[in-house]
């Protein structure tokens, strides 16, 4: 079984020896344990030196997690020949009680409404060849009172606007002036994300050349695009299905005034054929992919737009998705591939909640909450590293198999302590190999020990 302490020695530039030693007790315990991942649960499964007090000290130690994530990725997960891009997303963790640091009402997609919860925003490096995501920075979202009041006022204004029956005069208001759409006022949320991206880019330095930041449709607007461009990256995201997009005007000059910029508004039910890049049919569903450089009145620059239309040939029902990028050189296949890989960060959140304690921790102080969330996502990277060797032999191996493997080793190690005399090394290896196969879902890892 891999020596976890040796695995964590790469963190010595940013962590004290005591903290690394504490982690070397906590990480194997989390890998082997069953039940909820809490401080008490970890201490029950930890080896000698992993008492509850030790675990408690670790969770209340201030740890530079961004550097920890990066050093671990750089030493164990980074591949120089691979291409990486940056993905960002928010994770909501439901919590009860009233005293947990950062507890607020955040929107949960599972419940379809705001719920009492904690929110964490994560940045992840996504590998194009491995098709996997590796978290590299996690920060808790803590809204200030001013931010809460501004969000409430904005919601009330939107609600009041919907209730208004009278419509104003068409066209621009009298006296209005053109504004520079590249000069935007960032919301507190976008400011937080921008600071995270800039901090990560500074940490990475010249080792990685990142070009793209991929985020979901929540950030499909001009402010997010300008925030991304200020960081020196291109944004890839999604637009609303009813977004008003315009083709470039290619007609003659009218002879007076500024040249016309906007052409015909797009009709998603009848997109011109010359923009079609690919058509395929599978199970009575026809998929048409269109790509064009288009304009939006709220965006400061042209957009590289990809529209994926699906039509049911039997019922004639249709639906479409609109992806876009600020990089006008990307092909439609690249935009689709990059955006689809963004979902790998959702798998990180799933694993962190299901296996590594993101949904389980009961800490309430700021430092302990931050450490619990970061540790759970750090375990995602640790498990990916451990699974890499196993998957080289069997691609079906998953996290449950990995945990069963470590749990079996834990049971054998505890049993052998009670024997008056240890078995021969070959017999001991066979016992470890056999017991570690118990509880696995897929085919056991190939054994190097003869039967």
The reply to whether 207 and 91 lie within a common domain is yes
The reply to whether 10 and 127 lie within a common domain is yes
CA distance 233 to 223: 14
Name the domain boundary from 304, 329, 354. Answer: 329
Q: Give the chain's domain count.
A: 3
CB-count exposure of residue 27 (10 Å: 0-12, 13-18, 19+)? buried
Q: What is the pLDDT of residue 450?
A: 34
Tens of pLDDT, residue by residue over 75-90, are 999 999 999 999 999 9
The reply to whether 72 and 211 lie within a common domain is yes
Contact 222, 299 (CB under 8 A): yes
Strands 212-214 vs 234-239: parallel, antiparallel or unpaired = parallel
> What's the mean pLDDT when you consider all of the chain?
89
DSSP 140: E
CB-count exposure of residue 138 (10 Å: 0-12, 13-18, 19+)? buried
Name which of 352, 398, 400 is nearest 122 in CA terms.
352
Token look-up 């102080």 returns: 365
- Residue 58 pLDDT greater than 60, yes or no: yes
- Residue 36 pLDDT greater than 70, yes or no: yes
In-domain check, residue 172 = no
In-domain check, residue 334 = no
Q: What is the pLDDT of residue 55?
A: 96
List own/partner pairs for 411-415 with CB under 8 A and 24 or more apart: 411/435, 412/436
Tens of pLDDT, residue by residue over 95-120, are 988 899 999 999 888 888 999 999 99
Residue range 366-375: mean pLDDT, rounded: 96
The beta strand positions in 255-351, using DSSP E, are: 262-265, 276-282, 285-295, 303-312, 318-325
* Both structure tokens of 120: 């964490």
The reply to whether 23 and 62 lie within a common domain is yes
CA distance 158 to 389: 53
* Both structure tokens of 29: 């315990």
Q: What is the pLDDT of residue 252?
A: 85
Name which of 97, 28, 14, 100 is nearest 61 in CA terms.
14
CA distance 171 to 26: 63
Contact 246, 265 (CB under 8 A): yes
Strand partners, 235: 213
The reply to whether 60 and 191 lie within a common domain is yes
The reply to whether 101 and 210 lie within a common domain is yes
Confidence of residue 448 (pLDDT cuts 50, 70, 90): very low
Token look-up 């009278």 returns: 166
Contact 108, 175 (CB under 8 A): no
In-domain check, residue 282 = yes
Tens of pLDDT, residue by residue over 303-360, are 999 999 999 999 999 999 999 999 999 999 999 999 999 999 999 999 999 999 999 9
CA distance 443 to 440: 8
Cα angle vertex 69, ends 356, 202, to 5°?
Answer: 150
- Residue 37 pLDDT greater than 90, yes or no: yes
Tens of pLDDT, residue by residue over 184-242, are 889 999 999 999 999 999 999 888 899 999 999 999 999 999 999 999 999 999 999 99
Task: Print the domain residue range for 28.
Answer: 4-143+186-215+342-392
Residue range 128-139: mean pLDDT, rounded: 95
Q: How many helices and strands, by DSSP H and E, does the chain display?
A: 13, 12
Element (H, E) at 5: helix 4-7
The reply to whether 50 and 8 lie within a common domain is yes
Residue 141 CB contacts under 8 Å (≥ 6 apart), including other chains: 90, 102, 106, 118, 119, 120, 121, 189, 192
Tens of pLDDT, residue by residue over 247-274, are 998 888 877 878 888 899 999 999 999 9
Q: What is the pLDDT of residue 179?
A: 80
* Both structure tokens of 274: 């010359």
The reply to whether 317 and 353 lie within a common domain is no
Name which of 313, 308, 310 is nearest 284 in CA terms.
313
- Residue 372 pLDDT greater than 70, yes or no: yes
The reply to whether 128 and 112 lie within a common domain is yes
CA distance 392 to 395: 7
The reply to whether 297 and 201 lie within a common domain is no
In-domain check, residue 150 = no
Would you put residue 112 in left (φ > 0), alpha (ψ -120 to 50) or beta? left
In-domain check, residue 122 = yes
Confidence of residue 449 (pLDDT cuts 50, 70, 90): very low
Q: What is the pLDDT of residue 167?
A: 62
CA distance 229 to 326: 9
Higher pLDDT, 437 or 401: 401
Q: What is the pLDDT of residue 195?
A: 96
In-domain check, residue 238 = no
CA distance 435 to 430: 9
In the chain, the N- to C-terminal Cα span, in Å, equals 19
CA distance 397 to 390: 7
Strands 84-94 vs 212-214: parallel, antiparallel or unpaired = parallel
The reply to whether 317 and 414 lie within a common domain is no
Tens of pLDDT, residue by residue over 373-421, are 999 999 999 999 999 888 887 778 889 988 988 888 888 888 877 878 7
Name the domain boundary from 329, 356, 372. Answer: 329
Instruction: Write b or e for each residue in 396-408: b if 16 or more Cβ atoms lie within 10 A of its Cβ, otherwise e.
Output: ebbbebbbbbbbb
Range with lowest mean pLDDT among 277-286, 380-389, 428-437, 442-451: 442-451
In-domain check, residue 201 = yes
In-domain check, residue 76 = yes
Percent of the chain with pLDDT over 90: 66
Tens of pLDDT, residue by residue over 146-181, are 777 877 787 787 777 777 755 667 777 777 777 888
The reply to whether 61 and 206 lie within a common domain is yes
């Amino acid at each position: 079984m891999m020596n976890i302490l040796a695995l964590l020695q790469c963190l010595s530039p940013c962590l004290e020896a005591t903290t690394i030693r504490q982690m070397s007790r906590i990480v194997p315990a989390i890998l082997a344990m069953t039940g909820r991942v809490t401080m008490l649960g970890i201490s029950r499964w930890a080896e000698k030196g992993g008492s509850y007090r030790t675990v408690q000290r670790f969770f209340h130690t201030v740890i530079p997690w961004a550097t920890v994530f990066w050093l671990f990725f750089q030493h164990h997960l980074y591949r120089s020949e691979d291409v990486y891009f940056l993905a960002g997303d928010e994770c909501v963790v439901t919590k009860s009680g009233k005293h947990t640091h950062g507890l607020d009402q955040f929107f949960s997609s599972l419940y379809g409404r705001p719920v009492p919860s904690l929110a964490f925003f994560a940045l992840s490096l996504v590998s194009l060849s491995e098709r996997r995501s590796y978290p590299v920075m996690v920060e808790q979202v803590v809204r200030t009172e001013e931010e809460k009041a501004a969000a409430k006022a904005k919601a009330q204004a939107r609600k009041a606007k919907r209730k208004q029956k009278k419509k104003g005069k068409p066209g621009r208001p009298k006296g209005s002036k053109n504004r520079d759409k590249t000069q935007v006022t960032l919301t507190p949320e976008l400011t937080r994300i921008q600071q995270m991206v800039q901090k990560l880019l500074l940490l990475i330095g010249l080792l990685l050349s990142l070009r793209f930041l991929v985020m979901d449709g929540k950030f499909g607007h001009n402010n997010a695009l300008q925030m991304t461009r200020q960081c020196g990256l291109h944004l890839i995201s999604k637009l609303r299905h009813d977004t008003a997009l315009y083709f470039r005007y290619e007609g003659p000059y009218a002879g007076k005034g500024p040249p016309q910029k906007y052409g015909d508004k797009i009709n998603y039910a009848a997109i011109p054929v010359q923009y079609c890049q690919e058509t395929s049919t599978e199970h009575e569903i026809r998929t048409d992919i269109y790509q064009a450089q288009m304009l939006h009145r709220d965006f400061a620059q042209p957009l590289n737009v990809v529209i994926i239309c699906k039509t049911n040939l039997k019922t004639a029902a249709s639906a479409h998705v609109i992806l876009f990028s600020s990089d006008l050189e990307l092909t439609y296949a690249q935009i689709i591939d990059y955006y689809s890989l963004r979902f790998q960060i959702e798998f990180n959140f799933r694993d962190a909640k299901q296996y590594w304690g993101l949904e389980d921790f009961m800490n309430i102080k700021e430092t302990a909450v931050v450490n619990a969330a970061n540790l759970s996502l750090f375990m995602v990277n640790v498990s990916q590293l451990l699974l890499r060797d196993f998957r080289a032999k069997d691609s079906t191996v998953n996290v449950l198999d990995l945990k069963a493997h470590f749990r079996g080793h834990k049971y054998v190690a505890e049993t052998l302590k009670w024997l008056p005399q240890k078995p021969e090394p070959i017999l001991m290896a066979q016992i470890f190999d056999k017991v570690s196969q118990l509880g696995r879902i897929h085919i056991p890892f190939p054994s190097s020990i003869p039967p």
